[in-house]
Structure 1
Amino acid sequence: MSSQHYNALILGSGQSGTPLASHLKSLGLSTCLVERSHIGGCCVNEGCTPTKTMVASGRVAYLARRGADYGVYLRGNGEDEVKVDMQKVRERKRAIVKSFREGSERRLRAAGVEVLEGEGRFMGDKEVVVRLNGGGENHLTADKIFINVGCRPSRPADIKGLHTIDQSRVLDSTSIQELDEVPEHLVVLGGGYVGLEFGQLFRRLGAKVTVIHRGARLFSKRDDPELVECMQDILKEDGIDIFLNATGTTVSTHDDPKLPILLSSRTPSNDDAKAVRASHILLATGRIPNTDSLGLENTGIKTTPSGHIIASFTLATNVRDVYAMGDVRGGPAFTHVSYDDFRIIRDNPFISGTKTEGNVKTTLERTLFIPSVVYTDPQLAHIGPKLGDLPKGMEVHTYSMPGTWIARGLETDETRGMLKAVVEPESGRIVSFSAISPEGGELMAVVQMAMVGGIKWKQLQDMVFAHPSWSESLNNLWGGEMREFTI
């Protein structure tokens, strides 16, 4: 077993670890990056990049079927003339992932970072053994260690019979992207971001889709009921069946070769079970941190009961010079948050040795301004605290308007959705903003910049936006329905 000491050791090449490795090397620090599967982490290989590539294919299929709405006709009867080549969809996805991943690899090599392909396991606070993918082990020590190992899809333990059916038909957010044909009937267990994006995607590609969700409504209790109801109506309009308040879901085999899975669920108020026959199941019930194989029991590093590594606002663990970045430390599991973790490390002179002026940047500074986008179509974008997170007793005004009021939406025949803002009545400060809209994420970013810059809602109302643009709707939102209430 070879042994090597580094100034910096990074475990995992996600959206924090990869740029951090190149940055630390540029400072003259000896740097090693350990990755057990592929450079780029979840986002590039199984998350944002491949899924949004596939979502684009789904949108093309959706628009092709809607051609007659725009006076554009396919040769034939429309719906039946739209053929989806799932292997081509997968090939396009794989090509884009390959391009992104290889670009990350080239940048690391060019920076002079030593990359080890294998799985790292702590043997002490600053001591790691890497079991190399090609065989053999490396013993590594480091002055500073950065943990960026991310999370993986969870597998619910309370679904009876799940292990008894053909496991090739039990999918997660990674394996579903490798299907070479469209499922006959996809049942999605979980009504959060992942489940709804894939559910709508495969409905558009031609599958029958049923979403089974434990909650009383999609997403979480923290989300605004009005927005959730709007999104539920859109998905139902797209032909997706939604079963809420589902409890006691069981799975068994069925004799139909096309629909060989039988799912049964109940609701607390109804003893009659809802039975669904499916060809495939997508488990979209959450993610778990990749800390179970890290050997943290050999260290003093503390974790939460769920296995996430506990870190401070400067990303420091309780062990000196050991830091946690990205999804593995819990909190919002977004690529943009993970990348900003890299910037927090980069700009902290006590960590990287850089000379910066002013206060050290921390995760606390960005808490109120972390954006989120669900890449359904229309998108559900949000900035600011969720309605369920606002403090009790807070007086607010809400302004909302339907997508049918947006000129750009009328011109493109994409009026599904709504806009909603929460403001402080006395100060005029925008507390939060949500958009269920085509390109909702881009529209939300305009309001995000206003919030960060201290611009009040009245200034957005009076601002001159280009006509016709989606952002122009920010002139009209404040003339919509206004409600005042106390949280």
Structure 2
Amino acid sequence: MTRRFDAVVIGAGQAGPAMAGRFAGAGKSVAVVERERVGGTCVNVGCTPTKTLVASAYAAHLARRAADYGVSAGPVGVDFAAVRARMLAIVGDKRAGLESWLAGMPTCALIRGHARFVAPHAVEVGGETLEAEQIFINVGARAAIPDFPGLDRVRVLTNTSLLDLDALPRHLVVVGGSYIGLEFAQVFRRLGAEVTVIEKAPRLVAREDPDVSEAIRAILEAEGIAVRCDAECIRFAPQGTDVEVGVDCRGGAPTVVGSHVLLAVGRKPNTDDLGLDAAGVAVDGRGFIVVDDALRTSVPHIFALGDCNGRGAFTHTAYNDYEIVAANLFDGATRKVTDRIPAYALYVDPPLGRVGLSEADAKARGHVVRVGKRPMTRVARAIEKGETQGFIKVVVDRDSDAILGAAILGVGGDEAIHGVIEAMAAGRTATDYTRVVAIHPTVSELVPTVFGALDQPC
């Protein structure tokens, strides 16, 4: 059986349903094919469940600190089953909302199953062929599983399977000291588990400047999380019901034994079982679909959106991919993915909000930079909230006064960074930013001060 549509969307993550909505809104027929759960990574195993867990973990952490605020909270306990039930309820509500929205589009068909290309204009799903003039691939990514020695002898968790645990780990060993790993590390420590983080690089979140990495490590270690960097030969072996992880660091014990191990060492695109060869769609050496600035693949009527194209690894970049493609197709625009300013957050507590270039990256690109930096101990709002860890840092080109990037590691950092994002998007200079009158008392109010104090001691 063959059915024809104006468009086929493979994957119902962040970009897919929105693209379907745009076609349906224009009165065009569209099929959305989803082999697992509507909502993709973000709704089901990414942002929604993890940030729900972050909120529960923060509540436990704050309750333990109640005396710091003159409040008597008594003994603090964590009901892990209730924490998980809250997470699942929020995830379920979000997924159901998306499913209901798709079902309400009269020209949209939600088809369950695994889509594989059989021709440039056709995919096969469960024995049925779907043909379309345009096809959009939004299949996301999954946890990468490196071939570590001994991995086949033990049970390890990924960011997906970790969410299926119905009991709190006794000792969680996190292999990977970057965004996913560190968020889970702090969450499970605050919920009551012993936690060790193992990182092969000399420092955590190595893409950030050293001062940011060091501050994040200090925050985590202050909460009792053990951090082992310079892990030269990571390997695994069973030890009864536990797992022994070889570290071989320059200092400390050569192994760490945990009840559970989380692998958080990167992501792999879900492109290896789509039959891309049958459509002539090119991928790079890591399996990411090659796209141009308009997110077209090597086959002009096929587009790749979201994590599978290697041009961004976040929910907001996936949705922006949709915005770019939709504007170009429906509005006559000429938007490009390279116009996007990189911005993201790390949701440890306090969070890190980041935009643009780090200091190291700016220098590597040939900029002569000016840097402004102030500790959160200078922020009235942070003092009043009793949360003064971290700092605000901005990077400016010396010659043009252009804002190159910023990092806000501190309470509200994931929100306060948006002022800098918007200034950069509008092409405003550092001097322009010093003239902003911000609301007191907020974290954002110190940002103009930092721009006005470039190259001055903290």
| TM-score bracket for the superposition, by shorter chain length | over 0.9
Residue identity matched to 1:398: V
Deviates more, 1:462-471 or 1:109-118: 462-471
| Counterpart in the other structure of 2:336 | 362
Please state how far the C-alpha of 1:45 moved relative to its aligned partner.
0.8
| Residue 16 (structure 1) aligns with | 15
Deviation at 1:320, TM superposition (A): 2.5
Instruction: Tell me by how many angstroms 1:392 deviates.
Output: 4.1
Q: What is the one-letter code of the residue matched to 2:169? A: P
Alignment of 1:211-226 (within 5 A): 211-220=197-206, 222-226=207-211
Partner of 1:376: helix, strand, or coil?
coil
Note if contact 1:162-1:251 (Cα within 8 Å) is conserved in structure 2: yes
Match of 1:291 among 260, 264, 271: 271
Q: Secondary structure at the match of 1:316?
A: coil
Deviation at 1:479, TM superposition (A): 6.0
CA shift in 2, pair 1:130/1:464, >3 Å: same
Q: How many angstroms apart in 2 are the aligned matches of 1:266 and 1:396?
A: 38
Look up the SS of the partner of 2:113 in the other structure: strand
Tell me, yes or no, if structure 1 residue 147 matches structure 2 residue 147: no
Q: Distance in 2 between matches of 1:296 and 1:471?
A: 46
Residue aligning to 1:450: 423
Q: Distance in 1 between matches of 2:370 and 2:67?
A: 41
Identity %: 38
**Match runs of 1:14-413 below 5 Å:** 14-75=13-74, 81-112=75-106, 113-131=108-126, 137-157=127-147, 159-165=148-154, 167=155, 170-220=156-206, 222-255=207-240, 260-267=242-249, 274-349=254-329, 354-356=330-332, 359-366=333-340, 369-390=341-362, 391-413=364-386
Q: Quick check: 419-428 or 201-210, which moved more? A: 419-428
Query: Does structure 2 conserve the Cα–Cα contact (< 8 Å) formed by 1:9 and 1:32?
Result: yes
Residue by residue over 1:47-92, the C-alpha shift from the partner in whole angstroms, topping out at 9 and shown as x without a partner, is 11111011000000000110111111123xxxxx211111111111
Q: Is the 8 A contact 1:377 1:438 kept in 2?
A: yes
Give me the whole-angstrom Cα distance separating, in 1, the residues matched to 2:137 and 2:24: 17
Distance 1:122 1:483, change over 3 A: farther
CA distance in 2: counterparts of 1:281 and 1:72, whole angstroms: 36
Contact 1:9 1:31 in 2 (8 A): yes
SS of the residue corresponding to residue 227 of structure 2 reads strand
Cα distance in 1 for residues equivalent to 2:128 and 2:184: 40
The number of residue pairs the alignment matches comes to 455
Kept in 1: contact 2:358–2:395 (CA 8 A) = no
Is the contact between residue 86 and residue 179 of structure 1 (CA under 8 Å) also seen in structure 2? Answer: no
User: Any conservation in 1 of the 2:14–2:39 contact (CA below 8 Å)?
Assistant: yes
TM-score (structure 1 length as normaliser): 0.90
- Displacement, 1:328? 0.4
Q: Secondary structure at the match of 2:112?
A: strand
Return the letter of the residue paired with 2:12: S
CA drift of 1:425 comes to 2.3
CA distance in 1, matches of 2:437, 2:456: 25
Q: How much does 1:478 deviate?
A: 4.0
Provide the rounded CA distance (Å) in 2 between the counterparts of 1:148 and 1:427: 39
1:420 paired to 2:387 = no
The 10-residue stretch of structure 1 (13-22 or 424-433) with the greater mean CA deviation from structure 2: 424-433
Residue 121 of structure 1: CA displacement?
0.8
Q: Is the 8 A contact 1:397 1:483 kept in 2?
A: no
Q: How far apart are residue 453 of structure 1 and its match? A: 1.9
Moved more, 192-201 or 460-469: 460-469
After superposition, give the CA deviation of every residue in 1:181-204 in whole Å (9 maximum; x if it has no partner). Answer: 211110000011000000010010
Shift of 1:40: 1.1
Per the alignment, residue 134 of structure 1 pairs with none
- The RMSD of aligned alpha carbons is 1.7
Is 2:358–2:406's contact at 8 Å kept on the other side of the alignment? no
What is the identity, as a one-letter code, of the residue corresponding to 1:155? I
| TM-score of the aligned structures, taking structure 2 as reference length | 0.96
* Paired residues of 1:8 and 1:145 also in contact (CA < 8 A): yes
| 1:480 to partner: Cα distance | 5.5
Unaligned runs of 5+ in 1: 76-80, 132-136
Does the C-alpha gap of structure 1 residues 382 and 118 become closer, same or farther in structure 2, counting only changes over 3 Å?
same
Q: Which residue identity is paired with 1:249?
A: I
SS at match of 2:104: helix
Counterpart code for 2:320:
D
Does the 8 Å CA contact 2:312/2:318 hold for their aligned counterparts?
A: no
1:266 Cα deviation after fit? 1.2
Q: 4+ residue stretches of structure 1 with deviation over 6 A? A: none
Q: Secondary structure of the equivalent of 1:470?
A: coil
Bigger mean CA deviation after superposition, 446-455 or 88-97: 446-455
Shift of 1:447: 1.2
Q: Secondary structure at the match of 1:482?
A: coil
